[in-house]
């Protein structure tokens, strides 16, 4: 096992990156947050569409997501760009997770221009305070890796996903945590995962989270088993939701299932192990949920090509076939299509993914980082 290094945080967590995050509390602060981040070297910003209207039924979910994202250990400090005093509660929640956070409210600075000026000054101080934070030897038990796929094809369950499963098993065996996402893509595979649960309660939760999703969709008059896979998946050669689900579950390898957690649950979870997070199938929303749940890195397999990344967490892209790897040169890190040509075996590709994840943890950049992919979206249950 390669020795890991990372940034030891005051709250006991470890980061593999050291970002200053400029986070808008509401959509009206998006532009100010972007301008502040653009003006301060080393700062990153995300934008989102939450307005914060009174009585919004998703307010708690949104707050948990924003808080968890800001508290991710890859973030050394946060500048929260708010609208008025009402956003102090979010700043308090972030601080309550042990994160350094400063709030600049637009109502106190006469709008966007004044907020950018005031925020830039604060951001520069925050960036200077974390710039020389040293990397130290980091325990493998502090590492959490999200497991995600997007744009699946007929090869997903044959090449990239089972290879990622081998890497996941190696990480879990060494004491790390991995998190499988996308509950909609586990329909039909829930009993297989439940059979690996460490307890009857975890097994019941695994089955329940999939069946709850199915019931919610059925209430809208949709038969999820008949509606999936998507047209893109079909173009890629998938034929049924069960075929897609069994392939998606391969990302979790064969390790025991330690737990099933809610979207953006405060993390990383304890004890380390393999977890399933209740995320939607939307690529960006699930990545945000994993990062808000404490994942410092996300491993993302794709057969159709999905140039998605995160502002604060490196995303390692793995293609299921060589054609998409070559077509999207510079967007994908590893080509699991080499398994088909005999240049790699499942085991050797799994080992290659494992080693690449550790290299990324130690500071090697991913294609999505070099490209500047910083997509961000918040899961909503009410519209």
Give phi and psi for 132, each to the nearest 5.
-100, 20
> What is the C-alpha separation between 187 and 248, in angstroms, rounded?
10
d(CA 7, CA 5): 7
Residue 60, pLDDT above cutoff 60: yes
Tokens standing for residue 22? 């400029």
The CA distance from 74 to 77, in Å, is 9
Chain centre distance of CA 114: 33
Average pLDDT over every residue of 152-177: 94
Angle subtended by helix axes 59-71 and 283-292, to nearest 10: 60
Q: What is the side-by-side order of every strand in the sheet holding 315-319?
A: 257-261, 274-277, 177-180, 144-149, 297-302, 315-319, 334-335
Q: What is the pLDDT of residues 86-99, one digit of tens each?
A: 999 999 999 999 99
Residue 233: pLDDT over 80? no
Q: Which residue has the tokens 């893109």?
A: 232
The per-residue pLDDT for 231 is 61
Where helices occur in the chain by DSSP H, the ranges are 30-39, 59-71, 88-96, 112-130, 160-174, 190-194, 200-218, 224-227, 231-235, 241-249, 283-292, 322-327, 338-341, 346-361, 367-371
Per-residue buried b or exposed e for 224-253, using 16+ beta carbons within 10 Å of the residue's own CB: beeebbbebbeebebeebebbbbbbbbbbb
pLDDT of amino acid 381: 84
Is the N-terminal amide bond of 79 cis, ω within 30° of 0? no
What is the model's pLDDT at position 382? Answer: 75
Query: What values do phi and psi take at 277, rounded to 5?
Result: -100, 135
pLDDT at 256: 98
Instruction: Note the pLDDT tens digit of each residue in 314-349.
Output: 999 999 999 999 999 999 999 999 999 999 999 999
Beta bridge partners of 276: 180, 260
Q: At what angle do helices 59-71 and 88-96 cross, to 10 degrees?
A: 50
Residue 196 CA to residue 72 CA, distance in Å, equals 29
Q: Is the pLDDT of residue 267 over 90?
A: no
Percent of residues, the chain, with pLDDT higher than 70: 93
Q: Is the dihedral of CA 192, 198, 204, 205 positive or negative?
A: negative
Q: pTM of the full predicted structure?
A: 0.93
Task: Over range 40-62, report the average pLDDT.
Answer: 94
Residue 297, CB-side half-sphere exposure with 13 Å CA sphere:
30
Residues whose CB falls within 8 Å of the CB of residue 357, separated by 6 or more in sequence, listed in order: 145, 167, 171, 297, 299, 316
| Token reading at 272 | 């380390």
């Amino acid at each position: 096992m390669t020795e890991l290094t990372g940034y030891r945080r005051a709250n006991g967590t470890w980061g593999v990156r050291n970002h200053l995050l400029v986070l808008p509390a509401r959509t009206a602060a998006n532009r100010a947050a972007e301008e502040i981040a653009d003006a301060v070297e080393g700062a990153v910003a995300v934008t989102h569409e939450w307005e914060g209207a009174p009585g919004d039924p998703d307010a708690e979910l949104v707050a948990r997501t924003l808080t968890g994202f800001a508290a991710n250990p890859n973030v050394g400090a946060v500048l929260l760009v708010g609208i008025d005093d009402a956003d102090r509660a979010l700043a308090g929640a972030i601080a309550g997770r042990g994160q350094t956070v400063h709030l600049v409210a637009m109502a106190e600075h006469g709008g966007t221009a004044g907020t950018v000026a005031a925020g830039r000054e604060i951001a520069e101080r925050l960036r200077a305070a974390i710039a020389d934070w040293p990397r130290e030897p980091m325990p493998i038990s502090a590492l959490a890796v999200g497991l995600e796929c997007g744009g699946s094809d007929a090869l997903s369950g044959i090449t990239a996903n089972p290879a990622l499963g081998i890497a996941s098993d190696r990480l879990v065996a060494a004491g790390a945590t991995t998190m499988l996402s996308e509950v909609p893509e586990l329909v039909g595979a829930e009993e297989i995962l439940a059979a690996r649960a460490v307890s009857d309660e975890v097994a019941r939760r695994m089955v329940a989270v999939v069946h709850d999703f199915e019931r919610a969709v059925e209430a809208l008059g949709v038969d999820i088993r008949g509606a999936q896979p998507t047209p893109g998946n079909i173009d890629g050669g998938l034929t049924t939701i069960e075929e897609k689900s069994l392939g998606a579950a391969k990302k979790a390898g064969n390790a025991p299932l330690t737990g099933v957690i809610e979207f953006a649950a405060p993390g990383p979870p304890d004890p380390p192990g393999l977890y399933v997070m209740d995320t939607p199938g939307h690529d960006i929303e699930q990545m945000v949920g994993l990062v808000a749940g404490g994942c410092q890195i996300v491993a993302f397999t794709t057969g159709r090509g999905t140039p998605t990344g995160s502002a604060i967490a490196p995303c390692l892209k793995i293609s299921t076939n060589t054609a998409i790897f070559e077509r999207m040169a510079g967007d994908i890190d590893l080509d699991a299509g080499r398994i088909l040509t005999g240049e790699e075996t499942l085991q050797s590709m799994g080992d290659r993914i494992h080693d690449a994840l550790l290299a990324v943890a130690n500071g090697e950049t991913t294609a999505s980082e070099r490209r500047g992919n910083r997509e961000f979206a918040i899961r909503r249950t009410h519209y």
